[in-house]
Amino acid sequence: MPVVTETRVDFWQAHGINPDNCPVRQVLDHVSAKWPVLILMVLGGGPRRFNELLRALPDISKRMLTQSLRNLERDGIVRREVFDTKPPSVSYSLTELGQGFLPRVLALADWAETSMPRILAARDAYDRG
């Protein structure tokens, strides 16, 4: 039996936090889903309207965009404002909470970017082996 260091996951378990009631996992779940991350990166450039987001993320569907935005809004990460123009326009932007989250996401993207050569090399080796 190997000696193991306690991880955060062990801690969660020890405290009866299961996947269904673990708040961190719930946040991570939609914060770390495919689209929310990309949406936040776009909103990092300033407020965007619905269709602007659609154009910025060429391969997202309206359905997923709506859904992801609703989730982010519900968690207070994104703010949704409707302007009474004709036709009405809707603006999405990062809340203060969202602005605190973004740097962590960007840190990940930076890491991915600088580590890319090593990752590609690893893939190459794996696929050949």
Partner DNA sequence: AATATAGGTCTCAATTAGAGACCATTGTCG
Partner DNA sequence: CGACAATGGTCTCTAATTGAGACCTATATT
Could you list the residues that contact a copy of itself (CB under 8 A)? Answer: 2, 4-10, 13, 18-19, 23-25, 27-29, 31-34, 36-38, 41-42, 44-49, 52, 56-59, 73-77, 97, 100-101, 104-109, 111-113, 115-116, 118-123, 125-127
Q: Which residue is listed with tokens 């391969």?
A: 59
3-state SS assignment for residue 108:
helix
Q: Please say which residue, 16 or 88, places its beta carbon nearer to DNA.
A: 88
As a residue count, the chain comes to 129
**Omega before 87 cis (within 30°)?**
yes
Report if residue 87 touches DNA, rule: CB under 7 A: yes
Rg of the chain taking only CA atoms, in angstroms: 19
Report if residue 22 touches DNA, rule: CB under 7 A: no
